[in-house]
Structure 1
Amino acid sequence: MQSYEQKVSDALKRFTLDEIQVENCKSLYKQYEEYLRLNQKIAWERVIALKDEAFMNYENLPEPSPAQTKDLLKKVACLKLNGGLGTSMGCLGPKSLLNVRDNKSFLDFSLKQLEYLNTTYGSNVPLVLMNSFNTDKDTLAHLEKVKPAVTVYNFNQFELPRMDAESKLPAEVSSQNQFYPPGHGYVYECLKRSGIVEKLLAQGVEWLFISNADNLGAVLDPRIAQFCVSSDKEFVSEQTLKTEMDVKGGVLMQYDGSIHLLESAQVPAEHMNDFCDTNTFKYFNVNNLWVNLKALMKHQNLVLDLIVNPKTVEGKKVIQLEVAAGAAIANFNSVGVVVPRKRFQPVKKSGDLLLLMSDCFEVTKEFLLQQVVEKLPVVTSTALVNEFLNMFQNIPSLKEAHKVEIDGQVKCGKNVKIVGNFTVQKGESVELKDGQVVGK
């Protein structure tokens, strides 16, 4: 009788995969076997929440002088995780190419931020992009169009066949749905395979700052860079205080004697309230990561915890086996740094985009989106991005808003102001006329 491992090997022969992809696929399937054996969750009794003293605090990090910053910038590079399509928002292309404001996309802002730093300090910090097979073509076309004044390197992350949820073997679906990018955790291996690490090391780069393409708060910060370069740490993970909006965000924990990233998908159902308790886990992972490139090159096989992501494709139940970049923390001499909330400005839904487009933020000369209100309103919208952009061809003032919920249809005129709470329920259609003040 064939072993499960042999069945997987035989099934993978149907696909056009290189040797490294095959080995990684086999490794994920083996991890999945262990995942099932352990009843799919971690052992909660071995989870230890980190105390405040286990973290570094951004506010205690010294501010480098201009001369120190100039020297630091020779030793760092930035990488953006650029594999996402933003399907939850209904994006039709790479999420990083979605316009945020001033006719600039996420990618444009990232390029401008680095260009400002390089111009100010006479440096040449490069931008590295990890694309996916979904985003590579459009991203390269955009770079060719804008011709950035920043050195850009790019490479693609792995693509692997989805797993059939019933047979636990590679799924048989149509060619356009065969493959998926197995999480941004493969950034390290794909980066090493690309040859870019060697190029960066040859240029004197010691540390790589990794962040999500849709997080405009994740700028290269000299204070954190100085801490990285001067410390004995090999890996630094940024954390920030949890709010009611972030209770299911991944957290750092001590597990079997080392620091690990704990994601909500790994938590047993009966302990989800413990995981979400902000008194127990005060901070959550914002996926801003710093890795020492020499240390990275020494690690041949990083051990990354498995994330099991069930999906339905063409009416078939499938499983996407994924790994997260932040999980690499367990492989290095590492520490978490508690950072201000401004370093976490992601756009996951249309409501997030409306907030960033609004007068609650201003664009600084450094091309940062700076919050200009003491407390941001909570803005939610069920609209997909094209529908949203059609409804809000004019962006309302949200400076005096508290909670905005858009589930119905809106036509927003010019110079509209929303104050307090404002709701458009599903099935409702509301026209906001020029200069109108709404809310209660």
Structure 2
Amino acid sequence: MPCSSRKFRCREWADSFVQKRHTGEIPLSAGGALSFDKDPRKRRIPDAARAADAQHRFSRIYGTTHRIDMETMTQSEATAKADMFVRKMKDAHLHPDVIDTFCLYYRKVVEGDRGLIYSRDIRPVRGDEIDHLEKLGSFAKIGASARGSAVMIVLNGGLGTSMGLAGPKSLLMAREGKSFLEIICHQADRQHLRLTFMNSFNTHEATLKALSAIRLKHPPTWFVQNKFPKILQQGLIPVHWPANPELEWNPPGHGDLYGAIFQSGVLAHLLDMGVRYALVANCDNLGATFDDALLGYMVEKRFPFLMEVARRGPGDFKGGHLAVQRQTGRLLLRESAQCPDDEIAISQDIATYHFFNTNNLWIDLAFLHDFLGRERFVRLPMILNPKTVDPRDESSPKVYQIETAMGSAIVLFEGATAVEVPLSRFYPVKKCNELLAIRSDCFLYDDDSGFRQNPERAGEPPVIDLDPKFYGLIDRFEERFPFGSPSLMRCRSLKVRGDVLFGRNVELEGDVEIINERGVQILIPDEALVAGTLYL
């Protein structure tokens, strides 16, 4: 289809812009007159052929993508808008590879690409295609001998804003008066493990201050996650928010792990210290402890990348799932945001797609270093999140946040695999519901044995649904459980509606529903036993 003299297709501009960026016609620098070193040996940007080859590989791996309607721009308008982001990121002193990564994804936004993955391009994973942790015990001895060359990388970029926290979620009290950060550090010390933290610009200073008060056998290393500029939905331009300039930026998701650890020099530093293998886990998942069998399995089989997956239950239908890419036969992770609207039902069918990603990943750091030395960054599929500039103010301007998920690298790393693990290795705290469970007698913690499920409890922890109006924010939650969590040892599920204050030593049994419709707070007295449905 021919283009008019003033308008053109986004694809034409995108290809032209990236081609000129890589040949030097549209360079990376701050200010109006842009320039960079013409010497290709000094230039950090790959030539056009390498960029085209990378795009070809990306398209081959991910297949078809879906487009949404975006405004049509003239070529000069599109180029000027893209360069506004380049100048903003240069002014923030971001690494050239971070700028190039953002430009790759911004091109997709301008094209209207949502980064969707279609069911026609994937199939479910069969149970016999991946191993189960319970069958890997013979590898534990190998893993124990390799522990000295291993590190645990903790994803520590979240603020816990959904729970009303203003600081790092890892500093929230988890159990026995200790924060998530303290428990992670003590468990690493107990297992003689090194620790590395990936902080964000929101959590870095507070985390360093907290770490300074914790004595560890191996002083932890750290690096800071990069940041991307938010994209104003109206006009696809950078956000200007003088009231709080920090809100003009967003963390690019934990997929930034690969680039950030490489660009910071921490990856090379770990390898220089003889560290070869890494377990990566979220700071709010205390179940993600080091496992010798998993490490030994990875070492013996020489996997570059291993993902811990678990069976999806009735409460896991909304999340992403593991699949197999039909074209390549590789494992692939489809996040919920990457699912087309008309395929949501099949993606949520836990009888079809059995496994979800626990976000516990094992990585061969030498492989990663070599990969990034060749490619400069990992071209993960884009997740485009519609938000508002101020997440606490829904009336603030609408923006897009470009993010990526680290688990989606499984399809990019040849030879990557997955292992099915029990749910005891996955109990993240995303809301106060989960916080109540891990503080309860369903779990145990002491410095000698660490955090673990209570062996006296049969089955998984209870499903908890607290009224978000009264328990959604941490301060309101704490006020209503002044004596700690009630006993949940014999509780299968708990649902609370209305304002309920829990007394001392309350015990819940079976499927419990507590309903208060009076409009005033009601107390459940000390030593009470509650079973079934209770109307207050």
Seq. identity, %: 31
Equivalent of residue 417 in structure 1, options 481, 503, 507: 507
**In the alignment, what sits opposite 1:379?**
464
Task: Give how far 1:428 is off.
Answer: 5.4
Superposition RMSD in Å: 1.8
**In the alignment, what sits opposite 2:209?**
141
Instruction: State whether structure 2 residue 156 is matched by structure 1 residue 82.
Output: yes
Instruction: State whether structure 2 residue 115 is matched by structure 1 residue 47.
Output: no
Instruction: State whether structure 2 residue 269 is matched by structure 1 residue 199.
Output: yes
Task: Give how far 1:355 is off.
Answer: 0.6
Instruction: State whether structure 2 residue 294 is matched by structure 1 residue 224.
Output: yes
Equivalent of residue 406 in structure 1, options 477, 492, 496: 496
Instruction: State whether structure 2 residue 360 is matched by structure 1 residue 288.
Output: yes
More displaced 10-residue stretch of structure 1: 233-242 or 44-53? 44-53
State whether residues 114 and 150 of structure 1, in contact with CA within 8 Å, keep that contact through their aligned partners in structure 2.
no
Instruction: State whether structure 2 residue 148 is matched by structure 1 residue 92.
Output: no
Task: Give how far 1:21 is off.
Answer: 3.3
Instruction: State whether structure 2 residue 419 is matched by structure 1 residue 347.
Output: no
Task: Give how far 1:3 is off.
Answer: 5.2
CA distance change for structure 1 residues 231 and 173 in 2, over 3 Å: closer, same or farther?
Answer: same
Equivalent-residue separation in structure 2 for 1:131 and 1:102 (angstroms)? 25
State whether residues 416 and 434 of structure 1, in contact with CA within 8 Å, keep that contact through their aligned partners in structure 2.
yes
**In the alignment, what sits opposite 1:369?**
452
Per-residue CA shift, 1:144-199, capped at 9, x if unaligned? 12233332001100112101112122222231311110101010110011211122
Q: How does 1:386-405 map to 2 (within 5 A)?
A: 386-394=475-483, 395-405=485-495
Equivalent-residue separation in structure 1 for 2:516 and 2:398 (angstroms)? 32
Task: Give how far 1:368 is off.
Answer: 2.1
State whether residues 261 and 329 of structure 1, in contact with CA within 8 Å, keep that contact through their aligned partners in structure 2.
yes
Instruction: State whether structure 2 residue 346 is matched by structure 1 residue 274.
Output: yes
1:217 alignment partner, SS class: coil
State whether residues 12 and 170 of structure 1, in contact with CA within 8 Å, keep that contact through their aligned partners in structure 2.
no
2:324 alignment partner, SS class: strand
**In the alignment, what sits opposite 1:122?**
none
CA distance change for structure 1 residues 235 and 389 in 2, over 3 Å: closer, same or farther?
Answer: same
Per-residue CA shift, 1:187-244, capped at 9, x if unaligned? 0110011211122212222111101110000011100000111113110001001111
2:284 alignment partner, SS class: coil
Equivalent of residue 419 in structure 2, options 334, 337, 344: 337
Per-residue CA shift, 1:47-102, capped at 9, x if unaligned? 21121122121111024566x45422112110010000011111121001111110
CA distance change for structure 1 residues 114 and 360 in 2, over 3 Å: closer, same or farther?
Answer: same
Equivalent-residue separation in structure 1 for 2:492 and 2:256 (angstroms)? 39
Runs of 4+ in 1 over 4 A off after TM superposition: 63-66, 425-428
Instruction: State whether structure 2 residue 258 is matched by structure 1 residue 188.
Output: yes
Equivalent-residue separation in structure 2 for 1:278 and 1:216 (angstroms)? 25
Name the TM-score, length of structure 1 as normaliser: 0.93
- The one-letter code sitting in structure 2 at the alignment partner of 1:434 is D
Task: Give how far 1:277 is off.
Answer: 1.0
- The one-letter code sitting in structure 2 at the alignment partner of 1:357 is R
**In the alignment, what sits opposite 1:20?**
97
Equivalent-residue separation in structure 2 for 1:337 and 1:371 (angstroms)? 24
Equivalent-residue separation in structure 1 for 2:458 and 2:272 (angstroms)? 44
Q: How does 1:422-437 map to 2 (within 5 A)?
A: 422-425=513-516, 427=519, 429-437=521-529
State whether residues 350 and 380 of structure 1, in contact with CA within 8 Å, keep that contact through their aligned partners in structure 2.
no
Larger radius of gyration: 2
Equivalent-residue separation in structure 1 for 2:356 and 2:168 (angstroms)? 26
- With a CA cutoff of 8 Å and minimum separation of 6, indicate the structure with the bigger relative contact order: 1
Which runs of no fewer than 5 residues in structure 1 stay unpaired?
119-124
Equivalent-residue separation in structure 1 for 2:404 and 2:516 (angstroms)? 37
**In the alignment, what sits opposite 2:406?**
325
Q: How does 1:242-321 map to 2 (within 5 A)?
A: 242-255=312-325, 256-257=327-328, 258-299=330-371, 300=375, 301-314=377-390, 315-321=396-402
1:42 alignment partner, SS class: coil
- The one-letter code sitting in structure 1 at the alignment partner of 2:187 is Q
Task: Give how far 1:305 is off.
Answer: 0.9
Per-residue CA shift, 1:368-426, capped at 9, x if unaligned? 22233113221122221111012112121111222212343232221111223132457
More displaced 10-residue stretch of structure 1: 306-315 or 131-140? 306-315
Equivalent-residue separation in structure 1 for 2:454 and 2:77 (angstroms)? 57
Equivalent-residue separation in structure 2 for 1:428 and 1:239 (angstroms)? 44
Equivalent-residue separation in structure 2 for 1:71 and 1:223 (angstroms)? 11
Equivalent-residue separation in structure 2 for 1:65 and 1:403 (angstroms)? 35
Equivalent-residue separation in structure 1 for 2:520 and 2:128 (angstroms)? 50
More displaced 10-residue stretch of structure 1: 129-138 or 195-204? 195-204
Equivalent-residue separation in structure 2 for 1:418 and 1:189 (angstroms)? 47
Equivalent-residue separation in structure 1 for 2:153 and 2:170 (angstroms)? 13
- The one-letter code sitting in structure 2 at the alignment partner of 1:26 is C
Name the TM-score, length of structure 2 as normaliser: 0.77
State whether residues 124 and 354 of structure 2, in contact with CA within 8 Å, keep that contact through their aligned partners in structure 1.
no
CA distance change for structure 1 residues 371 and 33 in 2, over 3 Å: closer, same or farther?
Answer: farther
Aligned length: 431
Equivalent-residue separation in structure 2 for 1:10 and 1:202 (angstroms)? 39
